[in-house]
Structure 1
Amino acid sequence: MSSLVAPTRGGSSTASGRSSIIDSLRSCTFSGVMIHKEELKKKIMMPEYLRLAMKEAIEAKDVEADTISQLYEKPHVAGAEPPQIPESPLVVFINSKSGGRHGPKLKARLQTLMGEEQVFDLSSVKPHEFVQYGLACLEKFASLGDTFAKETREKLRVVVAGGDGTVGWVLGCLGELNKQGRLPVPPAAIIPLGTGNDLSRSFGWGGSFPFNWKSSIKRTLDRIGNDPTCYLDSWHVLISMPAGEDLEIPYSLKATEETPLDQELEAEGELPEKVSCYQGVFYNYFSIGMDAQVAYGFHHLRNEKPYLAQGPISNKLIYSGYSCMQGWFCTPCTSDPGLRGLKNILKIYIKRVNCSGWEKIPVPSSVRAIVALNLPSYGSGRNPWGHLKPEYLEKRGFVEAHADDGFLEIFGLKQGWHASMVMSEIISAKHIAQALAIRFELRGGSWKKAYMQMDGEPWKQPLDNEFSTFVEIKRVPFRSVMVNGQ
């Protein structure tokens, strides 16, 4: 498996701002048209008996079913024509609800290019089911001496057609293979169907669904098998909160048994007798504050009135409207100015670069949103960390940022006007720290709740006046493997 350095966060701001248009124009070239459908099928389609066996195992949730054994025996009968081993076998996970009207059409197009059994609609087949049963079926056949299954499993690559949340979901399930010792982990490529598509942008797969998508999809599928791989850090989040109040969590978080916080950092003050714990993984960013509040409002509007959000452009217009409605630009005069900043409810502890101990750092009084960023792309391709000069990096004790360097960049956004200039890349965000690990501690006071989000999945976090809520972020030991489309 070849390896490249993962994307840096110091790339061209002009390129990030125009990526969607450029990617769409590229897709209008004749390069996709020249790829013949039958040749592409030979390259990416698995032998029929493997496709059917994987489908059967997933549907039965059992790799030992009799029907699967019969499928294994079929191509090995004496005199049978041996199957053709594909050069670049692929499977696709598609969130058909993403991408407005394009989702169902893309699903149908993919099924004609590679067979129905290799295209999994996430509304009916979850990625963990594919890992637990589909991949296990290939591994079982390989253990029985099936060279076709063995080579298919080793060459397999995964395509995710969806937004950042969908990509993170699939990557998290594939990451379980590391823990189970089931290597190699299939590299992942992306077809962007979401609103921001920052993961897709960061690894060269574009910022939006292309105009000339029918020919572009053929071109994309043809490239995926040959493009090199690179790596992506992922970050584990543990939330420990006083028990008693239910938390409405996104699918990126799961309730877990009581899990202790890092014992190297002793919590100040009294701790509650009982706590509720949640954990999850993010790949791009974790944020607290006004940006998460805006995302929360948009998310619920889209669920309640899906007809208003039919594509990336309408989504962004609605999102901008929510920015104004939630007070990001205009905070009512009746509000106490002292309650606007996160400093009133938040403490931050970090482990710095080249230093293993925990350190408390100040929260700037003007900051209304704090973001811990992993990728070079945030908010539909922007680079809020900025293009830092070597002398500034040395002065602040920072290192050049990469998506696989083991560090998170922590920055702050003030009021909406500051955020607008940051997102226009006129100025950089307020640099706070660069960290190996982070602990956020929140205490209610005059605040009854805070808003948080992970990779675009927001939620409302209840706060307690008497006891703190802790959010601890540490790097996952195993990095995700990505196909680099750049």
Structure 2
Amino acid sequence: MAESKSDSDFLKEFYIPAYIFNDETKCSDLRDVPKFPVLVFINSKSGGQLGGDLLNTYRSVLNEHQIFDVGEEAPDKVLRRVYTRLEKLKQEKDEFATKIHERLRIIVAGGDGTAGWLLGVVCDLKLPHPPPIATVPLGTGNNLPFSFGWGKKNPGTDRNSVLSFLEQVMKAKEMKIDNWHILMRMRAPKEGPCDPIPPLELPHSLHAFGRVSSTDELNMESIDPQEGYHTFRGGFWNYFSMGMDAQVSYAFHSERKLHPEKFKNQLVNQRDLTAPYVDDGLLEVVGFRDAWHGLVLLAPKGHGTRLAQAHRIRFEFHKGAADHTYMRIDGEPWKQPLPKDDDAVVVEISHLGQVNMLATQNCRSKSVNDVSSSTSHHNGEEDDDFSDEDDSRAEPEFRKFGAADTFRIPDEIDISQLS
């Protein structure tokens, strides 16, 4: 089908020429720098045939060099290569490349697992100008796209649908979202290999880090420091849940999302809780009476009881009547064994920086920047203990949020298993 002049002019605002990606001869007619140059990452395995169709459509309307299938090349490798190339061109005083670098945006199409993978990569690479990210709901979950106004249903994959989404990207506003680092430790088996082989089936967002012989930094007096431990770490953006709510998800693979507006009528005045935002560095602690209480989140006015807010939270699981519990990170559930002896399973969640997101004008998520400074809880000192401006002094397991080296999808994982 022939491309109209209006479509052609529109697509030029997103188009990145081939020389940006390799050493091809620069075109002589490169005068107008695109206002919204994009890198597009698509999980071709998401949504059945939809992922592959969407990949082909984007490659047909933009430069195929700027479209990537995450099943063929990992995002961290792509971004390292692209940003290395951009830096080289900037050093050569290439003004076109410099403006591409400043204006770059990212589109990621896939389920929440794919979106989280990309967010973790951008966080880990510590790019000089982190690009804002738009998420296309494709596959299952799709809580991140829903929260930032991109919808929850699988998109159309035809040309007009892609053009419509790109128009939304053009009009989108930038917002930040908090990163949450999770660290889990449990005693390693007294017999067996010393390598940190996962003793359970964990979600993609948690990976073995290494054996720890000393636990002083976590003040785990209840665990013998002479013994080794399995350590797992990773990250999330939406939620971490445990108990019956996670068990329902584990059994039925249902997907739910706790939205900030669900709790606006649950403020506990005597606890001086602030309004919930996606970028305030605070984790909302919400309780449910049982799994079915949690399921009312599906209803328009459903909500749990907001119990507390914290920059950092720690759970210790000791021997009890139950031999396991259920946990879930951003929709990915697993069955977590509990201690059988005088051991403890420790889970620590802490704030670790932010990532730039693209959001539609009517998105559900709320930012602290949307309100006056008088209603903000920040006093300029609260974030000091959790700053990652210089993480060279931090403990090794906290130096990376995870995606580039540890939060990445392992090579042995079949990409088709990832939403």
The TM-score normalised by the length of structure 2 is 0.75
Q: Residues 211 and 252 from structure 1, CA distance in 2 versus in 1: closer, same or farther, beyond 3 angstroms?
A: same
Q: Which amino acid aligns with 1:236?
A: H
Within 5 Å, give how 1:78-157 maps onto structure 2: 80-82=28-30, 84-157=32-105
Structure (1/2) with the larger helix percentage: 1
Q: Distance in 1 between matches of 2:271 and 2:200?
A: 38
Q: Which of 126, 135, 146 is equivalent to 1:190? A: 135
Contact 2:137 2:151 in 1 (8 A): yes
In structure 1, what is the equivalent of residue 339 of structure 2? 464
In structure 1, what is the equivalent of residue 26 of structure 2? 75
Within 5 Å, give how 1:361-440 maps onto structure 2: 379=256, 385-388=262-265, 392-440=267-315
Measure how far apart 1:82 and its partner are. Answer: 4.1
Structure 2: any 5+ residue segments left out of the alignment?
190-197, 362-419
Q: Residues 94 and 84 from structure 1, CA distance in 2 versus in 1: closer, same or farther, beyond 3 angstroms?
A: same
In structure 2, what is the equivalent of residue 293 of structure 1? 247
Q: Distance in 2 between matches of 1:383 and 1:213?
A: 33
Within 5 Å, give how 1:271-282 maps onto structure 2: 271=224, 273-282=227-236
Contact 1:45 1:90 in 2 (8 A): yes
Measure how far apart 1:281 and its partner are. Answer: 0.9
Q: Distance in 2 between matches of 1:92 and 1:262?
A: 44
In structure 2, what is the equivalent of residue 56 of structure 1? none
Q: Which amino acid aligns with 1:379?
A: R
In structure 2, what is the equivalent of residue 234 of structure 1? 179
Q: Residues 421 and 228 from structure 1, CA distance in 2 versus in 1: closer, same or farther, beyond 3 angstroms?
A: closer
Q: Which amino acid aligns with 1:136?
A: T
In structure 2, what is the equivalent of residue 371 of structure 1? none
Q: In the TM superposition, what whole-angstrom CA distance separates every residue of 1:157-198 from its partner, at most 9, and x where no partner exists?
A: 0001112221111011011232xxx31001101111133322
Q: How many residues align?
A: 348
The TM-score normalised by the length of structure 1 is 0.66
Q: Which amino acid aligns with 2:250?
A: Y
Q: In the TM superposition, what whole-angstrom CA distance separates every residue of 1:259-312 from its partner, at most 9, and x where no partner exists?
A: 67684x73352335111111101000011122323333446xxxxxxxxxxxxx
Q: In the TM superposition, what whole-angstrom CA distance separates every residue of 1:196-217 from its partner, at most 9, and x where no partner exists?
A: 3221122111122246864232
Q: Percent identity?
A: 36
Q: Distance in 2 between matches of 1:40 and 1:109?
A: 16
Q: Which of 328, 332, 335 is equivalent to 1:453? A: 328
Task: Please give the secondary structure, in 2, of the residue aligned with 1:205.
Answer: coil
Q: Which amino acid aligns with 1:199?
A: L
Measure how far apart 1:241 and its partner are. Answer: 0.8
Q: Distance in 1 between matches of 2:221 and 2:74?
A: 41
In structure 2, what is the equivalent of residue 42 of structure 1? 12
Task: Please give the secondary structure, in 2, of the residue aligned with 1:414.
Answer: coil
In structure 1, what is the equivalent of residue 378 of structure 2? none
Within 5 Å, give how 1:4-23 maps onto structure 2: none
In structure 1, what is the equivalent of residue 161 of structure 2? 216
Measure how far apart 1:247 and its partner are. Answer: 3.0
Q: Residues 449 and 43 from structure 1, CA distance in 2 versus in 1: closer, same or farther, beyond 3 angstroms?
A: same
Structure 1: any 5+ residue segments left out of the alignment?
1-32, 54-67, 300-318, 320-377
Measure how far apart 1:428 and its partner are. Answer: 2.8
In structure 2, what is the equivalent of residue 174 of structure 1? 122
Q: Which amino acid aligns with 2:142?
A: N
Task: Please give the secondary structure, in 2, of the residue aligned with 1:105.
Answer: helix
Considering only aligned residues, what root-mean-square deviation do their CA atoms show, in Å? Answer: 2.7
Q: In the TM superposition, what whole-angstrom CA distance separates every residue of 1:244-268 from its partner, at most 9, and x where no partner exists?
A: 26232222112113467684x7335
Q: Which amino acid aligns with 1:408?
A: L
Within 5 Å, give how 1:242-261 maps onto structure 2: 242-244=187-189, 246-258=199-211
